[in-house]
Amino acid sequence: ANWLVSKESMVAFPHAQRSIARVEVRVKDHLQPMTILNLIDSAEEELGTPVQSAVKRADEQEFARLNAANLMFCEDAARKLRGLFESDPRISDYFIHVEHLESLHPHDAVSRVVKGVPGGFSV
């Protein structure tokens, strides 16, 4: 297994896999209301891939193309969502949990982020 110790094999690459993002937000009451659909649409746009439950055969190639064009580690996805929530003045606090359901490893990759406000969400 010489390939295991080769320098060329030591670079990490994101790869296609199923992922789950769970987010919780606290919204400031006095600002423009936010719906769950607004939140989902914003997250999909930020990550570059739409949420998919069941995909028709005709749409499968486009989902695969979008996923391949937006490969990222779970930490990258969590950072992107953090940037989105930090830039939205309606959001006072957030909890982000991104999990990649690993196909190559015996464990899943997980990243969690909170805003860090006193008395707010914690990891």
* 1 pLDDT more than 80: no
| Residue 122, in any domain of the structure | no
pLDDT in tens, 17-26: 788 999 999 9
Task: Give the number of other Cβ atoms within 10 Å of residue 38's Cβ.
Answer: 13
Q: What are phi and psi of 48, to 5 degrees?
A: 85, 5
- Per the structure, the count of domains in the chain is 1
**pTM of the predicted structure, to 2 decimals:** 0.78
| Residue 2, in any domain of the structure | no
Query: What is the mean predicted confidence (pLDDT) over 29-50?
Result: 86
The Cα 74–Cα 38 span in angstroms is 22
Q: Rg for the chain (alpha carbons), in Å?
A: 17
Q: Which tokens hold the place of 61?
A: 């190639």
CA 90 to chain centre: 20
pLDDT of residue 3: 58
Which CATH number covers residue 77? Answer: 3.10.270.10
